Amino acid sequence: MIETPYLLFLGDAPDQLAAKVAIGIKDWRPENAVGQFRMEGCKADLGLKDMSLTEAREAGAKTLVIGVANRGGVISQEWKKVLVTALEEGFDLASGLHNLLRDEADLAAVAEATGRKLHDVRVPDVDYPIANGIKRKGKRCLAVGTDCSVGKMYTAMAMEAEMRNRGMKATFRATGQTGILITGDGVPLDAVVADFMAGSVEWLTPDNDEDHWDLIEGQGSLFHVSYSGVTMALVHGGQPDALILSHEPTREHMRGLPGYQLPTLEALRDTALHLARVANPDCQVVGVSVNTQNMSEDDAKTYLAAIEADMGLPATDPFRFGSGKLVDALAAL
């Protein structure tokens, strides 16, 4: 659990895209973002107040979150100067970088001396149990994709926001680095040891109120041969009551696998539902979430209408048209 709120470290980001994690925090948990810290040459700007470390501490920030990718996988000396000072000023540090904060001898030593925490969210810090398959109270929704990176996290985040607006009980459950940094908690599922994957998902989505929904962040795809085992652990460990199908219609092949075509939404529906019912016989497919960023608005609307007609399921692009239809479907279950 990462202490909030955050000061968002943008470093010397070469462009806005490099600050993806910080943007996610600002979009989805604005109350966690006290301000931004930018170094000379930083080309990203979240529109938050620029703060010094001292100012951010006075404003209540507890953790400096590295909200930007580093160049060449190296934590530079310029960054180090800020990070070490932040520890000395009383901040914890949190990072989803491939190279770990804890592996930097200077950061580790200063954190030790100051009693501050280094959160490397790429690696698990919990001994997860083996999944026991016992039915848990409360409701769970999982987005499953025809492919990786088709908008599963965005869909779950958008649904959580809409549900909270409606006064429904809903919690986004992060299973990847970005989601963990945004919410301050979660399971870095792709880094969990095989035997404990499903158990980590059970741990992440415990018993809850009967009318509470966990919106579980999906990973990979049952049809992506590199990562399908991770997806399977979500389908069985998550015991979803509701599945959302996620798709990106213009993709020409599976991400990173030129020889592999995307499955149809119908194939995904049948496969995912069949497998999900092993863990939860009442599971339903409730809607379709389409990432239409590469389509005109007219084409997107036509495409979504065709899915609704063909599949009899509500279909939307949560980014473009909101997630209301999907939340309606959950509420109707």
- What residue ranges bind its own copies (CB under 8 A)? 130-135, 189-195, 197-199, 222-223, 225-233, 235-237, 254, 256-257, 259-260, 263, 271, 274-275, 278-279
Q: How far is the CB of 194 from its own copies (least distance, A)?
A: 5
Cβ atoms of residues 308 and 265 within 8 Å: no
- Minimal distance in Å, beta carbon 263 to its own copies? 8
Return the number of the residue (60 or 229) whose C-beta is nearest its own copies. 229
Q: How far is the CB of 55 from its own copies (least distance, A)?
A: 39
- Based on CB atoms, which residue is closest to its own copies, 192 or 245? 192
Residue carrying structure tokens 């194939």: 267
Shortest Å distance, C-beta 289 to its own copies: 22
Orientation angle between helical segments 152-165 and 324-332, nearest 10 degrees: 70
Could you check whether the bond before residue 318 is cis, i.e. omega within 30 degrees of 0? no
254, 220 Cβ separation under 8 angstroms: no
> Taking the CB of residue 133, how many other CB atoms lie within 10 A of it?
15
**Ranges of H-type helices in 40-168:** 53-58, 77-88, 105-114, 152-165
Could you tell me the smallest distance in angstroms from the CB atom of residue 243 to its own copies? 16
39 vs 191, which CB is nearer to its own copies? 191
Shortest gap between Cβ of 252 and its own copies (angstroms)?
Answer: 15
Cβ proximity to its own copies: between 108 and 257 the closer is 257
Paired tokens of 184: 């301050």
Which of these, 151, 133, 138, 135, lies nearest to 244 by C-alpha position?
151
C-beta closer to its own copies: residue 123 or 306: 123
Token pair of 54, please? 């001292």
Q: Fill in the amino acid letter for 114.
A: T
Residue with smaller CB distance to its own copies, 205 or 292: 205
CA distance 81 to 195: 40
**Three state DSSP letters for 124-138:** CCCCCCCCCCCCCCC
CB of 142 to its own copies, least distance (A): 14
Q: Name the nearest CA neighbour of 246 among 213, 223, 275, 278.
A: 223
Q: Which is nearer to its own copies, 82 or 180 (CB)?
A: 180
- Amino acid identity for residue 43 in this structure: K
Do residues 9 and 67 touch, judged by C-beta distance below 8 A? yes
